[in-house]
């Protein structure tokens, strides 16, 4: 039994290496049990045990009726800090404090490193978000996309993995501030300032306006 456990862990590591080596990419479907068992020279039961290990590590996921897939963000839990289980009192402010520490520097780095493709996508998402706000629609997803693109523009994979924490506060923040009349207008103003600073390759301006944007959000929440 002990040898079987060790073997399943070894197989799990082999599958992880396939992902690390880009033989399998995020979103890819895993080969079926028979093919994997033949490829790795183990039994199907060992493959099943290895898959269970990788599912528990948020590396693989089962989609009902479709099969087993590599997670879009392998190794990252949907709620990495366990925010769901925290006392909700003052939680939103704590999330915004975290953003205040991370995002201004992230924006500055994006201003230095963004590729033309990053810049084009950032502009496209900003205009979509602006249109949604002016039409009174829920702009949460495009807001999140805007911040995700800034994270990608840093060209730093670690920063990109911190983004889910930021996304939590964006989602919560929208629910808390959506009924404030000036909220949408200010979102447009601050995002446009951050966008322009990144387009102009101005790290200090990008940092400054992102900080102002987050502080404004914190002020609105504090007033509620």
Q: What percentage of the chain has pLDDT greater than the value 90? A: 64
Residue 3: pLDDT over 70: no
List, in sequence order, every beta strand (DSSP E) within the chain: 60-63, 67-70
End-to-end CA separation in angstroms for the chain:
58
Q: Which of 10-14, 174-178, 195-199 has the highest mean pLDDT?
A: 195-199
Under 8 Å CB-to-CB from 145, ≥6 apart: which residues? 125, 129
Residue 181: pLDDT over 60: no
Q: Comparing C-alpha atoms, which of 161, 170, 166, 194 is closest to residue 77?
A: 161
Nearest-angstrom CA–CA distance, 79 and 110? 25
Q: How far is CA 66 from CA 19, 29, 161, in A?
A: 20, 9, 27
Nearest-angstrom CA–CA distance, 1 and 28? 31
Give 67's strand partners.
Answer: 63
Nearest-angstrom CA–CA distance, 61 and 47? 14
pLDDT of residue 81: 74
Contacts 24+ apart (CB under 8 A), 154-157: 154/106, 154/109, 154/110, 154/113, 155/113, 155/115, 156/109
Residue 177: pLDDT over 90: no
- Name the average pLDDT for the chain: 88
* pLDDT band of 174, cuts 50, 70, 90: low
3-state secondary structure of 182: coil
Helix axes 157-177, 140-153, angle to 10 degrees: 160
Q: Which domains does the chain have, with CATH numbers?
A: 2-70 (1.10.10.10), 83-223 (1.20.120.530)
* pLDDT band of 5, cuts 50, 70, 90: low
Nearest-angstrom CA–CA distance, 137 and 47? 46
pLDDT, tens digit, for every residue of 51-104? 999 999 999 999 999 999 999 888 877 777 777 777 766 777 888 888 899 999
3-state secondary structure of 198: helix
pLDDT of residue 113: 98
Burial (Cβ within 10 Å: 0-12, 13-18, ≥19) of residue 51: buried
3-state secondary structure of 129: helix
pLDDT of residue 29: 95
Helix axes 91-113, 140-153, angle to 10 degrees: 50
Segment (H or E) for 220? helix 203-223
């Amino acid at each position: 039994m002990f040898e079987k456990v060790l073997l399943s862990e070894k197989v799990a590591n082999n599958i992880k290496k396939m992902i690390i080596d880009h033989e399998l990419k995020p979103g890819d479907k895993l080969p079926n049990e028979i093919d994997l068992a033949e490829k790795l020279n183990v039994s199907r039961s060992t493959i099943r045990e290895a898959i269970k290990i990788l599912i528990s590590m948020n590396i693989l996921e089962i989609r009902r009726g479709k099969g087993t897939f590599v997670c879009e963000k392998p190794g990252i839990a949907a709620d990495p800090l366990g925010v769901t289980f925290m006392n909700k009192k003052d939680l939103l402010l704590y999330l915004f404090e975290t953003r205040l520490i991370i995002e201004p520097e992230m924006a500055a780095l994006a201003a230095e490193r963004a590729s033309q493709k990053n810049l084009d996508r950032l502009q496209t998402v900003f205009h979509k978000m602006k249109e949604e706000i002016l039409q009174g629609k829920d702009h949460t997803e495009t807001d999140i996309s805007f911040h995700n693109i800034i994270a990608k523009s840093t060209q730093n994979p670690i920063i990109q993995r911190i983004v889910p924490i930021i996304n939590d506060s964006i989602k919560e923040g929208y629910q808390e501030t959506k009924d404030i009349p000036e909220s949408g207008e200010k979102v447009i103003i601050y995002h446009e300032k951050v966008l322009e600073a990144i387009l102009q390759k101005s790290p200090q301006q990008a940092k400054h306006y992102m900080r102002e944007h987050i502080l404004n959000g914190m002020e609105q929440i504090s007033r509620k």
